[in-house]
Structure formats: structure tokens, C-alpha cells
Amino acid sequence: MHTSFVVLVSPVMSLAATLTTPTKVAHRVPLATTPAHSAVHAPVRLSPAAPESIKVSSQKMHFMRQQHVADSATHIDHQELVNRNVRQMTDIVRVAPNLTIQPSFGSAGLNFALRGVGLMDFTQNNTPSVMPYVDGVAYPISIMTSGMLFDMDSISVNPGPGGYTHGQMTTGGEINFHTADPTEQFHAGITEDIASYDRNRVTGFISGPISRSVLFRISGQSMTGGGYQHSASGERFGNANLGALRAKLRWNIDDNTHLDIGGHWTTDQSEAASGHNLYNSYGVPINSDLMQTSWGLDPRFAKIIGIDGSNTKPREDNMFWGANIRFTKDFTWGRLTTLSAYESVDEHELSNQTDSVLSYGNMFRNNQSNVFSQEVKLESINPAARFHWTAGMYYSRTEQAQNFWYDSSDRPGTTPLNKTSYTEGMQTFNQYVELSYRILPKLRLIGSITHESDDRHIRNVTSTNYNLNTGAIEGTPTNFGDAGALANEFSGHVGLQYQFRPNIMGYAMFSRGFKPGGFSANITELASQIKPFKPEQVITYEGGFKTTFFKNKLRFNGAGFYYDYRDQQIVSTVLVPPFGALSGYVNAPRSYIYGAEFDVEAHPIHGLSLTQNFGYQHGVYSQFQSLNRTATTNQFTQTGVWSAINTNYDNYSMGLANLTLSGAATYSWHVLRDYQMTFDVDYSYRGAQTQPQHIGDSGIYRAPAYFLVNSFLTFASPKQHWSATVYAQNLADRHYWLSGGTQATFYGVIPGMPRFVGARLNYTY
């Protein structure tokens, strides 16, 4: 989350004026339910005599400032997450415009994109274009986010280049997750959520004081079932089996000094993502039922890699844990913040890449990674000052050890089983300064500069081929040695913010974003495969406005943007005979993206809330040539020989989902004097989208547009100590895709969730 919001607050707004701004100023953020402070600000001490009133006042001051911040971030509070049934990361796309979160095919890893900028990191060893942050801690390996969406206070989605006021540079943006903080009074709660397909989710928390100055919070979740896919014989697939714990300890050393210690642990034994086969050239039958999938595990493959061969289902066996320490000290002249964090990944992932009973495309990933990060920041804290500043340094070190096993026995002329192993080390050092000065009573000038150094090395890349029948190594393992990639880049932004009236603000921003290069690291058979792809940069132009009208009953925000993209990192196709057309990273020299976003919230009558998000994006490659996967694969099907067919993709569309919409109508009223009923109907729409590996393709490679409708009804006690909710997701039972992928001459898609009907019981003390 951009921690420099105090720098951008309009100077003409006094505190009294600020408190008269809308009751919901950020994108769907009810002030009474949002956290008292962001994860990167000093704790707010609550008076035992009137905790709720002080907390709500602090929330208003914080989130009302967002309406005077020169950005287009989407903010989603705890209640909105509950109302929209956001249980897993891919659900967030239903409430934020121009956001894409897709499962990496056959993996629990995720790919994030904002406004068309994102990296499909199927090898899980490269820096994402859109960085997730949890309580200010960067998660550079996307699978680290598994199971963390519980006891969440808020989420903010920030598009555009980042890293100017914290963390590391990104080209696409960031998603900030702020988990619930300890409270000064004792609170506890538990929620039981049961739904279709035996889905069961239990979450709970305990929070309160240990002493007058030490507070704690412990929370957890358990999620099982929910598998909505099935085999031809009717066997269910896709069940979750996940547990997670989180703990926070806060020591208020004095009114100006605070120490926060946090830790978390997650275990994931879920069945892995599996797709529905739409096309293959092996004669495997294609079924029209999108929810039908297939899988198989060659017992020889299982024996060689040392896993249980009696369970043939693709599956996860992962554990994640981490700890962090934040120290905050306020002085008369500013605030000092330090944040130290350590995150660990232990991943064991089995998948069937072709979704076939014939055991084609068995893949096993063994990934041990750890990430250490350290940040030190100084910032001004007086919102009434004409001059504001933020300066800091961020360091991150990542170490990985991966083994990637792949069974290619289905392809003529291939070595049946390949193991690619390597270690990789990455170090990133970012220094940043942001300055803001009020040059006129209503006009503020904003500027920043960052320098980032990124040094990464992939080491001891070794390719080993095995005989499936005997398990013996065939030939001599090939060691491709080491490769390195070093980048040093300056980035920054400049902008103007003008407060036309207390309720109308406009801004214009020019930014340059940067992201380092990296490596493809799967099925390595040629030395050229470990050559690093280049860094990318994006130059952005953005203008927007934020307004409120009719005594806070209507809020209307909007933004338009244009991105000049250089050396865009994309997953394309490389030819590796005899393995064929494989996914690999390449750079598109020039491309551009443009679009617009609007957000509306209205409260026409008491108890009724209407919200609407609109996102439009369109991307075009202006200079790019690459292997045509479809043509190359079709030629192999006809001739049995792999040979490259390249295509010039100049002026081709990127295939982005051009239009994303979401909206809700929520009405609350009292029954039986003090009890409360809440009824909601909400929807989301996503336009058609082409998978990144199939530029210019249509037909089965283009995910159709889809429209989802959801609803819930809640009955709550007078003081909200308990509530009961019935809900339905995807009421019309629409069938749609989350993502797609190609392996050999198979093309499959991972279906989205069908209709779910459920009930949720909540009790809070």
C-alpha cells in the first residue's frame, strides 16, 4: 500500500472538512468496518472507555484521505470480502477492474496482471510484474499466497508502476493485503461456512491484551472439499485440504514507539489444478462437459521420483511459513519504520499436464525457496505542511533449489523422462525518495526517483534423462553450468494534483516502471534455454479525478491511462526438438496498452447501497516476432517432424479481456425492532481473453466472455454478535474458464466455479 498518502493530501482540507467527506470514499470501503490504520502506519491506541467511536473516527480519517490521493487504487474492506465470498485469490477479479489472476496451468502458482501488465511465471523463479504484499511484506513467489485469505481487514489493488515509496519496483502494480490487527479489548469469533460439493470452511480468531502495553491476535482457517470437477466415471476432483494459522503480537512501548511481531504457517494437501481437454491430436476422446477432467500417473514415473503411485490424482504437498518484525518510532519531524521478514516455501507438486488417462505429461516439481527482506524508511507525518517527503531503502534476497521432472513418453523420438535441476539466487536493492510540495493553495507537485539493482544467478543447471522401464540414467547428465543477469535502473514519477473544490480532485501522473529479467527453467535440453530474458520497462501516462456529490450520497471516480511498453516479458513458445513447442520467456520489443476505469457508489435512500466498477483495456504489439505454436504443432501432426514456423505479430492484439464490470445492490433494514436483515445481488462480467501463448489465435484458444450473478441474505442480532447467511454464487450456473494451457499437442482449460449454494454462521464475542 502506498505509504505516502499523507504527502498527497490536499492542504486546503482541514480535519473538520475532511470528516465531512463521504462515508465511503475509497472503492467500496465502508468506514465502520475498515481497519484503524494501514499495515505500514503506526498503531492507533484506543481508549478503553470508548473504543468503537475512536476506532471509527480513525478509520474515517484514514480512508477519507484516499479520496484525496492521486491514484486509481481499488480498496476492498473486510465486509466487502465477506459479502462477495472472496475465499481464494482468483475471487478478487470479481471486485477490481482490469485485474487478472489465473492459475498457472497444472499448478497452485498464480499469475497476476493489472491493466494487461503481468508475467505468466509457470517456472516460479522470476519476479512478478504485479507484486503481492502481506502487511507490507513482498511475496515474490506467487504460490506463497496460498491459504492466506482469512482474518483479512482490507485489500487494495494498486495499478501502475510501483516501488516509489516502499518495497521493490514493479511495472504492473501491486496487491496489498492487510490482515486484522490485535485489539485493546478482548474479542473472539468463529465462522462456519458450508456449501455445495461438500465445501467446508472454518475460520476463527482470538484477540486482546496481555498487559496494558502488549496486545495479541491469533487466527486460523481450515478449508476442505469443494471439488466440482469429475472424471468420466464420476469420481470427484479438486477438493481442497488446507489449514493455516497466523499470530500477531504488538508492544506499544510508548505513545510514539511500537513493535509488531508476526508469524504464519500454512499446509496445503489439496488436489492440484486440473483442466478439461479441448483439443489433442492423439485421439483421446473429447467430452463436451467442461467440468469433466481426466488424470493418470505412470507407476514407473512415480517409482523413479519416489512418490505414492497408488494415488494417481494430481496434488499438492506444500508448506509455507514466515515471520516478520516491524519497528515504528515517531519523532516531531517524522517517522522511522523498519521491517524485517523471512518467508519459506517447501513445495511438492504433481500434475498431469495433458489431463489424460493415458498418463501423458506427468510433471513433478520440488521447490525449496526462502526470501529475506529488510526495509528502512523515513517519512514526514504532518499533513498540514506544504512540503512532504519519504525516503527509504529496501533489500531482498531469494534462494531457490528446484527439481523439475517431466514425462514426455507420448512424443515420438523423445527421451521418456527428463529431470532439470538447478539453484538460483536473487538479490534486489532499491533506494527511493518521494517529494511533494504545495506550490499554490490548491496545487501540489509530486515527484519521486528510485534506483534498483537486481543481481540474479541460476547455478548448476543439470539435465538428466531416465529410462522409464528401468529407472536408470540414460547417457550422461548434461551440466549447462551457470548464467547470470544484472540490472541497474533508475525509475520515478512526476505529477500534479489539483483540488478544484473540497469534494473534487484531479490529477495527472507520468511514470516509468522497471522489472528485472530472469530465466526459463523447465525441460532444459539446450544451452540456449538458460539464456536470460531482458528486463522490461513501461512508461505510463495517467489522469484521473475523484469526486463526491449530494452530501456524500454519490461518489464518482475515474481514470484513463496509456502505457508505452518496452521489452515486454511474455510467455511465448520456443522449439526444442524432439520435445517440440515448449513454453519459454521472450521479450516483445514494443507494445502499448490503453484504457479507462470508473467507480461509482450511491446511497439514494437509507439502507440502500449501489456500487459499480467499470474497466476497459486494450493492448497491441507494435513490434514482435515469435514462434507460431499452433502452426508449428499442426505441421508436426501432419509430418511428424518438428520445424519452426515464425509469425510477425506487429499490430496484433494482445488478446486482453477488454471489458471488466462488477456491481452490487445491497439493502439493509431492521426487523423485530433491533434485528437486521441484509439482502444483496451482485454481478461480474469479464470479456473474452486469449491465452498468452496463442497470440492472434481464436477459436478454442480464446476464453469466452462470461457473466456471473451472486446473491445473499443475512439475518443478524442487534449488536452483530451473531449472524446467519444463506448465499448463492454463480446463480445461473454459467460455465467459464479461469485459464488455459498447452502441453505437447494437447490444449486444456481450467474451468471456473459452477453454481454454489451455501450457508454461513458467524459468532463474535
What is the reported pLDDT for 521?
82
CA distance 509 to 584: 34
585: β partners: 571
CA distance 23 to 37: 16
Q: 741 and 351 in contact (C-beta within 8 Å)?
A: no
- pLDDT exceeds 70 at position 472: yes
CA distance 170 to 452: 11
- The conformation of residue 122, written as its DSSP 8-state character, comes to T
pLDDT single digits (tens) 743-758? 666 788 899 999 999 9
- pLDDT exceeds 90 at position 423: yes
CA distance 649 to 558: 32
- The conformation of residue 98, written as its DSSP 8-state character, comes to T
What is the reported pLDDT for 720?
80
What is the reported pLDDT for 316?
95
What is the reported pLDDT for 413?
62
- pLDDT exceeds 70 at position 348: yes
What is the reported pLDDT for 411?
66
Q: For 581-595, give one letter per residue: b (16+ CB within 10 A) or e.
A: bbbbbbbbeebbbbb
Average confidence score pLDDT of the chain: 87
CA distance 4 to 718: 39
pLDDT band at 528, cuts 50/70/90?
confident
- pLDDT exceeds 80 at position 353: no
Strand, helix or coil at 303?
A: helix
How many C-beta neighbours within 10 Å does residue 550 have? 12
- pLDDT exceeds 80 at position 299: yes
pLDDT band at 23, cuts 50/70/90?
very low
Average pLDDT score over residue span 460-465: 92
Average pLDDT score over residue span 299-318: 92
Strand, helix or coil at 560?
A: strand
- Contacting residues for 159 by C-beta, under 8 A, at least 6 apart: 72, 73, 98, 114, 115, 172, 173, 561, 597
Max Cα distance, the chain (Å): 81
Cell of 9: 493530501
pLDDT single digits (tens) 207-253? 999 999 999 999 999 999 999 999 989 999 999 999 999 999 999 99
Q: 180 and 207 in contact (C-beta within 8 Å)?
A: yes
